[in-house]
Amino acid sequence: RYAIYGVFGYCPDCGIHNSLGILEANLDLVGRMLVLAEEQQDPTLRTKLVENALEDCVSSFDGWGRASVGAFADKAGGPGKAAAISFQNIKAAAASVSTLFGYDIAASVPPAEFGALNRVFQKRHVIAHRMGVVDDAYVKNTGDTSAVVGRKVPVERDEIQAACASLLSVAKGLLAHLESLP
C-alpha cells in the first residue's frame, strides 16, 4: 500500500506516473458537466456551466502538462525552465516544449484541430480575464473572423468535447515522447 499526498505521483512498484489517468478522469468530468449543462432550462445557467467546463478543461490540461514536464525536467534542455512551462496557452506551451524537449505537441493532431485548440484556450482566457468579452488580442491570437470585439465570446458544447479529445491525443503523444527520452 502506498499513499500519494497530492495528486500526481509515481507508483513505486511499476514506476508509472499517474498523470495521464488523472487527466482522463478530469476530462471525463468535463464531459459530464457538459451533459449537465444541456439539461438546464435556464439559459444563463446553461451558458455558465459550459464556460466552467471550458475552464476546467484547460485547467486540467495545464495541471497535467506541468506535472508531466516536471516529472521529466531532468531530461529537458533546461531543467529549471521545464518546471516553469505553463500549459494555459497551448501555442506558448508548444514552443516551450519544442525548445526544451525537442517535441512538437501540435504534431499530435491535425493542424485544424490544433487551431481549434488554440481558439478554445483563448476563449478560456477571455472568459477568465475579460468577463467573456472579445478583445483585439483574442482576434489577433486566433484569427477568428466571426468574433466581434466588445461582444461575448460564444462557447459551444461541441467545441469543448472536441478539445477534450484533442487534448488526450496531445497528452498521449507528449507523454510517449517524454518516456522515450534517454
Question: Higher confidence at residue 98 or residue 9?
Answer: 98
Confidence label for 13 from pLDDT (cuts 50, 70 and 90):
low
Confidence label for 115 from pLDDT (cuts 50, 70 and 90):
very high
Confidence label for 15 from pLDDT (cuts 50, 70 and 90):
low
Distance of CA 117 to the CA centre of its chain: 8
Question: Higher confidence at residue 11 or residue 137?
Answer: 137
The gap between the terminal CA atoms of the chain, to the nearest Å, is 30
pLDDT of residue 2: 43
Is residue 11 within 8 Å of 148, Cβ to Cβ?
no
Question: Higher confidence at residue 140 or residue 77?
Answer: 140
User: Rounded CA gap, 49 and 60, in Å?
Assistant: 16
Residue type (1 letter), 153: V
Contacts for 4 with CB less than 8 Å, ≥ 6 apart? 18
Residue 106 gets which letter from DSSP? G
Is residue 12 within 8 Å of 2, Cβ to Cβ?
yes
pLDDT of residue 3: 45
Is residue 69 within 8 Å of 82, Cβ to Cβ?
yes
Number of H helices, E strands in the chain: 7, 0
Q: What is the pLDDT of residues 41-83, one digit of tens each?
A: 999 999 999 999 999 999 999 999 999 999 899 999 887 899 8
CB atoms within 10 A of CB 166: 20
Pull the grid cell for residue 123: 476563449
Whether the predicted pLDDT of 7 surpasses 80? no
